[in-house]
Structure 1
Amino acid sequence: MFGRQKPPVTPPTEPGDDLPVGIIEGKGRPTPRRKEAEAANRRPLVPSDRQSAAKAARVAQRTQREREYEAQKRGDESAMPARDRGPVRRFVRDWVDARLNLVEVFLPIVLVCFVVQMTFMQINAWASLIALAVLYAFTVAAIIDAIVLWFRLKRRVIAKFGEVQQGALFYGLVRAFQVRRSRLPKPQVKRRAYPE
């Protein structure tokens, strides 16, 4: 009534005339009943031997972590964790590693200032105040350096890839805060050898 008219279906004259060449009729086996199909797919939610299953899972996780750690040391991207893979992440890593970052010495400076402040607090108040002033000045300088790093890295990534991948800039900033020797994946470029 409201739809278009369907053309009348004419029955085929001979069986098999309506099939294209090369198609075989039937699947060669009966369709399994629903109960049989569900029984074939049923697996226990909890393994029967929980201790051995947990031990096997721990061993598998440990070997996976070791394989990823070795890949990070070598620079082999195929076995790295997912957060370190891809051309954008590689570019961010190489660009941060090539840059001389003020923020990478932030944690050692904070530690030294904290030790000086705690040691000389009772002995010499001026040394403690100087350590505190150095700490505040270095914190402000590190924040400014991190902001500069963020905007320069964003401009470079957009120039190379057209857009910024989600999380890539934060990935570079976190990498910049790490001391160069302790970074994973290991740096693959020298200082001031910026990637193209």
Structure 2
Amino acid sequence: MIRIILFGDSITAGYTDGYPSSKFSDMLKAKLGREDVYCFNRGLPNSTITVALERLQADVLTIEPNYVVPFFGLADARQKQSLPASTFAVALTKLVRQITPEKCLLITPGVVAKDSPVNVRLEEYAQATRQVASTTHCDLIPWHNHMAATPKKMLQADGIHYSTLAYDELTTMLATRFKQRLASFNMISSARQFMGKRQSHDNN
């Protein structure tokens, strides 16, 4: 089984009409279309990057994932005293390195309603996430710019959480990237099986 963990805040938790749902992970699983892939949803409403580091071992590492999608920023940006982007970047870098960069697929945080000052901080976090991806050589989904192009239809009535359309477009982007990774994973697994059988034959 290939284990993919979606790790984030209320957006990852599929927060819809005031309640968490499995929408995000279910849609990704469906688009991958593989029975051997399991998508674990480890979204926690109001989970900041600091909280993420505290729950990383229990919620992510103990599962021994093949891939992890850390998706943070919204809860941090909405804090009364939000983290400076530089501090956010340091924490995200630590998170990526503990998971290992080759297992991570980062997403730049999206946007909220246009009139919200939270968007200023989200833009800063998006830039910080791009920098972390670059310095750690980690894969990245450029979601912030994509969502910012048409924010109204991407949001629920609360102006914060994602509409079904947003999840549909985000999971399409993730599925495209993961299909590339899974193809490589299959090739490596096949090669290892071949070498194992060959070594066993040679030993006999």
TM-score bracket for this pair, using the shorter chain length: under 0.3
Query: Which TM-score applies when normalising by structure 2?
Result: 0.22
Could you say which structure has the greater relative contact order, defined with CA pairs below 8 angstroms and 6 or more residues apart? 1
More strand by share: 2
Query: Which TM-score applies when normalising by structure 1?
Result: 0.23
More helix by share: 1
